[in-house]
Amino acid sequence: MATVLSTIREPRDLDGLSPAQLETLAAEIREHLIVGVSAAGGHLGSNLGVVELTIALHRVFESPRDRIVFDVGHQAYVHKLLTGRQDFSMLRRKGGLSGYPARAESPHDIVENQHASTALCWADGLANARDLTGVDGHVVAVIGDGGLTGGMVWEALNNIAAAKDRPLVIVVNDNGRSYQPTIGGLADYLARVRTAPDYEKVLQWGRSVLENTPLFGRQVMAVAHGAKKGLKDVLVPQGMFEDLGLKYIGPIDGHNEADLEAAFERAKGFPGPVIVHCITEKGHGYPEAEQSDERYHQVKATNAAPPGAGNWTNAFAGEMVALGAERPDIVAITAAMRRSTGLEPFAELFPDRFFDVGIAEQHAVASAAGLATAGLHPVVAVYGTFLTRAFDQLLMDVALHRCGVTFALDRSGVTGEDGASHNGVWDLAVLQVVPGLRMAAPRDAAQLRAQLREAVAVSDAPTVVRYPKGDAGAPIPAVDRVGDMDLLRRPDPAEQAEVLIVSVGGMAEVCCAVADQLTAGGHPTTVVDPRWVKPLDPALPGLAAGHRLVVTVEDGVRAGGVGAAVGQALADANVWRPVRSFGTPVAFLDHASRGQVLQHCGLTARDITDQVEATLTTLDRTDATVAMSG
- Residue 510, domain member (yes or no): yes
Q: Verify that 452 and 499 share a domain, yes or no.
A: no
On whether the CB atoms of residues 398 and 369 are closer than 8 A, the answer is yes
Q: Verify that 34 and 143 share a domain, yes or no.
A: yes
333 membership: H or E segment, kind and range: strand 330-334
pLDDT at residue 299, rounded to an integer:
55
Task: Report the binding-site residues for thiamine diphosphate.
Answer: 74, 146-147, 175, 286, 361
For the segment 152-164, what is each residue's pLDDT rounded down to a tens digit? 898 999 899 999 9
pLDDT at residue 217, rounded to an integer:
38
Q: How far apart are CA 112 and CA 133, in angstroms?
A: 23
Domain that holds residue 413: 312-466
pLDDT at residue 363, rounded to an integer:
94
pLDDT at residue 243, rounded to an integer:
75
Q: Verify that 489 and 454 share a domain, yes or no.
A: no
pLDDT at residue 222, rounded to an integer:
36
pLDDT at residue 65, rounded to an integer:
96
- Residue 203, domain member (yes or no): no
Q: Final residue of a domain: which of 441, 466, 491?
A: 466
Q: What is the DSSP letter of 394?
A: I
Q: Verify that 413 and 485 share a domain, yes or no.
A: no
Could you write out the DSSP letters of every residue in 438-473?
EEE--SSHHHHHHHHHHHHT--SS-EEEE--SSB--
3-state secondary structure at position 256: coil
On whether the CB atoms of residues 171 and 241 are closer than 8 A, the answer is no
- Residue 192, domain member (yes or no): no
- Residue 188, domain member (yes or no): no
Task: Report the binding-site residues.
Answer: 74, 145-147, 175, 286, 361
Task: Report the binding-site residues for Mg(2+).
Answer: 145, 175
Q: How many CA atoms lie within 13 A of 317 on its CB side?
A: 20
Neighbour tally for 542: CB within 10 Å:
13
Q: Verify that 338 and 368 share a domain, yes or no.
A: yes
Q: What is the DSSP letter of 413?
A: B
Nearest of 372, 368, 376, 371 to residue 329 by alpha carbon? 376
Q: Verify that 282 and 416 share a domain, yes or no.
A: no
Q: Final residue of a domain: which of 421, 439, 466?
A: 466
Contacts within 8 Å (CB) and 24+ apart, 617-623? 619/548, 619/549, 619/578
**CA 110 vs CA 63, 71, 81: distances in Å:** 10, 11, 16
Q: How far apart are CA 134 and CA 138, in angstroms?
A: 12
The residue type found at 450 is A
- Residue 513, domain member (yes or no): yes
User: Per DSSP, what are the bridge partners of residue 532?
Assistant: 440
User: Per DSSP, what are the bridge partners of residue 356?
Assistant: 334
Q: How far apart are CA 474 and CA 310, in angstroms?
A: 8
Q: Final residue of a domain: which of 421, 437, 466?
A: 466
On whether the CB atoms of residues 579 and 540 are closer than 8 A, the answer is no
* Number of domains the chain is built from: 3
Q: Verify that 356 and 428 share a domain, yes or no.
A: yes
**CA 510 vs CA 27, 63, 555, 602, 618: distances in Å:** 47, 47, 11, 12, 23
On whether the CB atoms of residues 116 and 359 are closer than 8 A, the answer is yes
Q: How far apart are CA 149 and CA 158, in angstroms?
A: 15
- Residue 289, domain member (yes or no): yes
Low-confidence ranges of the chain (pLDDT < 70): 1, 113-114, 177-240, 287-309, 626-630
- Residue 207, domain member (yes or no): no
User: Residue 24: which residues within 8 A CB-CB, separation 6 or more?
Assistant: 4
Q: Verify that 9 and 125 share a domain, yes or no.
A: yes
Q: Verify that 453 and 555 share a domain, yes or no.
A: no
**CA 347 vs CA 310, 365, 488: distances in Å:** 21, 18, 36
pLDDT at residue 191, rounded to an integer:
63
pTM of the model: 0.82
**CA 14 vs CA 4, 258, 422: distances in Å:** 10, 13, 33
Catalytic residues: 282, 361, 389
Q: Verify that 367 and 258 share a domain, yes or no.
A: no
Q: Verify that 455 and 370 share a domain, yes or no.
A: yes
Q: How far apart are CA 464 and CA 61, in angstroms?
A: 46
On whether the CB atoms of residues 444 and 508 are closer than 8 A, the answer is yes
349 membership: H or E segment, kind and range: helix 344-349
For the segment 225-251, what is each residue's pLDDT rounded down to a tens digit? 334 444 344 344 456 677 777 899 988
Q: What is the DSSP letter of 296?
A: G
Q: Verify that 536 and 457 share a domain, yes or no.
A: no
pLDDT at residue 417, rounded to an integer:
81
Q: How far apart are CA 180 and CA 543, in angstroms?
A: 48
- Residue 185, domain member (yes or no): no
CATH number of the domain enclosing 594: 3.40.50.920
CATH number of the domain enclosing 426: 3.40.50.970
